[in-house]
Structure formats: structure tokens, C-alpha cells
């Protein structure tokens, strides 16, 4: 599941959108217990996902060519990339 909607994602109201697609919508019903600020922060995080994945891929390339030593940070980046790409195994 590594194909996601391309392009820039942005928050508008209670939605995350791309130029031609609804990506996500925050629950705004009366039963929602999360405050507006939390829902908005979640939407902003979702909207940043393609940019974050791109940055991780650049870091991966840089680290594989230039870095040696501790793997903790690298493992965290790799785990996050795998999760974003749908490669997480339980």
C-alpha cells in the first residue's frame, strides 16, 4: 500500500484535502470528545504526511551514503516509513 494521493495536502475546515481528493475528515458530531484544537492538530499532522515521508526518504538516502554508528534514529525513521508505506507487520 505504498501509493498515496500525490501532491500537496492541506487543511480546510474539518478536512484534509489534496487538489482533487478528500483525504480525511475530523469527526465533528456531538459525541466527539476531542476538543477542536486536538482535532485540528490531528488534521495538520495528516496533511503533513506526504512531506514527512519525503523527508524520511531523503534522510534514508543521506544516511545510507554518509552515516555510520548508532542505529536508533535510523530504526525509528525506517519504522515510520514502513508504517506510512503500509509495510508494518504485527
Pairing of strands 15-17, 22-25: antiparallel
The strand pairing partners of 12, in sequence order, are 15
Q: How far are the Cα atoms of 3, 4, 6, 13 from residue 21, in angstroms, in the given order? A: 14, 11, 10, 15
Distance of CA 4 to the CA centre of its chain: 11
Per-residue pLDDT of the chain in tens (90 residues, 90 and over written 9)? 458 888 889 999 889 999 989 999 887 665 667 787 888 888 888 998 988 888 888 887 887 777 776 667 778 788 887 887 777 655
Give the pTM: 0.72
Amino acid at each position: 500500500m505504498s501509493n498515496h494521493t500525490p501532491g500537496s495536502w492541506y487543511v480546510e475546515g474539518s478536512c484534509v484535502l489534496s487538489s482533487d481528493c478528500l483525504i480525511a475528515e475530523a469527526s465533528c458530531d456531538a459525541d466527539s470528545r476531542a476538543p477542536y484544537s486536538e482535532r485540528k492538530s490531528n488534521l495538520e499532522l495528516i496533511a503533513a504526511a506526504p512531506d514527512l515521508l519525503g523527508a524520511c526518504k531523503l534522510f534514508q538516502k543521506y544516511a545510507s551514503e554518509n552515516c555510520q554508528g548508532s542505529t536508533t534514529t535510523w530504526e525509528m525513521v525506517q519504522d515510520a516509513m514502513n508504517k506510512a508505506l503500509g509495510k508494518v507487520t504485527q
